[in-house]
Amino acid sequence: MKVICTERSQVLGARLAKVLQVPIVDVTFSRFPDGEYYLRAGDLDDEIVVVGSVVDNDALVQLMLLIDACEHSHIRLVLPYMAYARQDKQFKQGEPLSARVVANALSRGVSEIFTVNIHDPDVLKYFTVPKQNLSLARDIGSYIKALHLKDPLILAPDDGALAFAGQVASAGGWDFDHLEKTRLSEIEVRMAPKKVCAASHPVVIVDDIISTGGTIATAAGMLYQQGATDVYAACVHGVLANGAYARLMSTGIRDVICSDTIERACSRISAAERIAGAIRKR
Ligand code: R5P
């Protein structure tokens, strides 16, 4: 077995190869003068694990080319982050079901697919090969444990992420809840935990994705007003669009933590062990 990865997943790819104790394939990446991608894979193996997060359109094309370059091998695809997964329904007439488009395209030529905290597990049905969705909730929980916070409160930004917050909180037996938005006036919104009180507690807001960080930034300010001692933000996929990291830090958030499904300077949690564990069970 060997691991091969796209440019945007080289850190996770190398970590995965190390955990699996298999070689990583060297790949030459370049572009044609008109901007088209070119790549050439080094020595392959009968069994290949392709690692490639789809963080944008370029990453999608590069991943498709890499899969094709491995066509004579038995390919397992690790898709740590899948862009377009949030367009998982045709919300309005005339829209594409983008998650289905990407899932279909990436199923071609591979024998199975591993995703990590895919935005909605319902999307898995669009992959046309066997698939498994892995969760880093316990890994985030372990990271928080190592911070030695006193009675932290784990908060989901909305009720949709409550189950995820519960899984994170189970690492330390901490209280968890979700934030509830109350509209006070046309321009004023209040956000507070639905059942518990944040006063005198450190709070960790957890979610699958931090994109613009808008919700968490607003929530952090309000949690401080409610007496939270410290506010942290942790997620699996640090999309961090439009200056989200700086925006979050400017609200007084103590730290923003994400995993290496998207490779960022604040990727402090690795998905490698969890992915390796799933691959070893096959
Ligand atoms: C949405 O359903 C996701 O789980 C995240 O809550 C969302 O993507 C975060 O978006 P933003 O960071 O832009 O508030």
What average pLDDT does range 249-276 have in this prediction? 97
- For 98, residues 6+ apart whose C-beta sits below 8 A from its C-beta are 84, 87, 88
**C-alpha of residue 245 to centroid of ligand 1, in Å:** 14
Long-range contacts, 84-88 (Cβ 8 Å, 24+): 84/54, 85/118, 85/119, 85/120, 85/123, 86/119, 86/120, 86/209, 88/119, 88/120, 88/122, 88/123
**C-alpha of residue 41 to centroid of ligand 1, in Å:** 36
**Closest ligand 1 atom to 211 CA:** 12
218 ligand 1 Cβ < 6 A:
no
240 ligand 1 Cβ < 6 A:
no
Query: Taking the model in full, what pTM does it have?
Result: 0.95
Q: In whole angstroms, how large is the CA radius of gyration of the chain?
A: 20
Nearest CA to ligand 1 atom 3: 209
Place of tokens 């998982």: 88
Confidence of residue 4 (pLDDT cuts 50, 70, 90): very high
How far from chain centre, in Å, is Cα 6? 16
**C-alpha of residue 161 to centroid of ligand 1, in Å:** 10
Nearest CA to ligand 1 atom 5: 209
Mutational test site, ligand 1, from 119, 136, 211, 240, max ligand atoms within 8 Å of CB: 211
Q: 156 with 162: CB under 8 angstroms?
A: yes
Q: Does pLDDT of 23 surpass 80? A: yes
Q: Which residues of 161-199 are buried (b: 16+ CB within 10 A; e: fewer)?
A: bbebbbbbbebbebbbbbbeeeeeeeeeeebbbeeeebe
Please write the tens of the pLDDT for every residue from 116-143: 999 999 999 999 999 999 999 999 999 9
In angstroms, the Cα distances linking 172 to 148, 167, 175 are 10, 10, 9
Closest of 224, 226, 227 to residue 254, by C-alpha: 224
Mutational test site, ligand 1, from 136, 215, 264, max ligand atoms within 8 Å of CB: 215
Per the annotation, the verdict on 181 as an active-site residue is yes
What average pLDDT does range 65-86 have in this prediction? 97
